[in-house]
Structure 1
Amino acid sequence: MCITSELAHAKKRIIELEAQVATLEAREWTPYPPVSGVERISPQGWVDFNRISMQQNKVVVNGDILRYGILADTNSMDGVMDAPHIVVGETVFDRNQLHVGDIVSYRTETSDSIIHQIIKIETDSEGRLYTLQGTNNDRPDTYQVRNENILSVLICLIYARER
């Protein structure tokens, strides 16, 4: 009687395990745990697919005037980009189409080029004012930037190694 009870229990457990296996097999595999992240601002798309051609050994992005540079090691954009990564920005675009989340390069009175993310857009009688912040900075930049100080909008990031 004891063996019969154990056998019935083992059969029941096998059925439970087979059901779990079937459930797991039905799911799409992912290396990430089943959790949701918090929605964060992200850059919008700037490059139409018809401007991109993928060739055997290269990717070509056609644009009016593209600007590129190697990042300085300021740590302000850590988590997204860092030195010596290479950024490519588009310089000919409608600055009034910039959105919160876009990453831009801009100039100030004291710097020729800074790359930060737009976190707020306001408008006054002279036009748009952008509040920017490095993704690794705990507070926004202490100044606002106008359209004429925006040099480019980031369209490509290459995670390059040291030379």
Structure 2
Amino acid sequence: MCMRWLRKLYLQQSGLERISPNDWVKRDQIDYDGGLLTIKLKPNVKVFGIADTGSMDGLLDYGHNVIATDHFDKAKLAVGDIVVYQVYTTRICHRIIEIREDRNGRIYRCRGDNCIDTDKWYLRDENIKWLVLGIIY
């Protein structure tokens, strides 16, 4: 009951439901004991910084640390997930806003949260390199 009330209250303020990432890190992977926080993640986890592009402002900015993995099932990617994709030699950290399929597989469209336009590339599974699991501010 309380959650429905809160949801109604906040949606009245913003006017819209926003897409969010999947729940990739489950509660049973997180331990807090005696002041020590431990997150049990799959192999191939990387922590990297964010470039000062402004494209993800509001969520990510220069100096923030992103926890990401390249060990994930791309078939489970969904609209709202934040990924690092590669086009040519450039890696970009943006949110998936559309997923479709054609005879060659999945096609992803991404956009930075602070961008008006959708990224110009039509991405395939091989372009998606990392899945963002968390952000440390």
TM-score range, shorter chain: 0.7 to 0.9
Following TM superposition, by how much is the alpha carbon of 1:35 offset from its aligned partner in structure 2, in angstroms? 4.0
CA distance in 2, matches of 1:95, 1:143: 18
Following TM superposition, by how much is the alpha carbon of 1:123 offset from its aligned partner in structure 2, in angstroms? 0.7
CA distance in 2, matches of 1:53, 1:34: 32
Q: Return the match for 1:46 from 24, 39, 50.
A: 24
Q: 1:58 to 1:71 in 2, by over 3 A?
A: farther
> Where in structure 1 are there 5+ consecutive unaligned residues?
1-31
Match of 1:24 in 2: none
Q: 1:114 to 1:54 in 2, by over 3 A?
A: same
Is the 2:11–2:17 Cα contact (8 Å) retained in structure 1?
no
Q: Percent identity?
A: 36
Q: Return the match for 1:85 from 40, 64, 87.
A: 64
Q: Which structure has greater helix proportion?
A: 1
Match of 2:13 in 1: 36
Question: CA RMSD for the aligned pairs?
Answer: 2.0
CA distance in 2, matches of 1:89, 1:135: 18
CA distance in 1, matches of 2:39, 2:78: 22
Q: Which structure has greater strand proportion?
A: 2
CA distance in 1, matches of 2:10, 2:72: 39
Q: Where does 1:61-76 land on structure 2 (aligned, <5 Å)?
A: 61-64=39-42, 65-76=44-55
Code of the residue aligned with 1:155 in structure 2: it is L
1:40-93 Cα deviation digits (max 9, x unpaired):
111111011121122334322222221210111000000111010000012211
Size of the aligned set, in residue pairs, is 128
**TM-score, length-scaled by structure 2:** 0.85
Code of the residue aligned with 1:123 in structure 2: it is E
Q: 1:50 to 1:33 in 2, by over 3 A?
A: closer
Q: Where does 1:2-13 land on structure 2 (aligned, <5 Å)?
A: none
Which is greater in Rg? 1
CA distance in 2, matches of 1:126, 1:48: 32
Structure with greater contact order relative to length (CA < 8 Å, sep ≥ 6): 2
Match of 2:75 in 1: 96
What SS is found at the alignment partner of 1:84?
coil
> Where in structure 2 are there 5+ consecutive unaligned residues?
1-8
Q: 1:52 to 1:33 in 2, by over 3 A?
A: closer
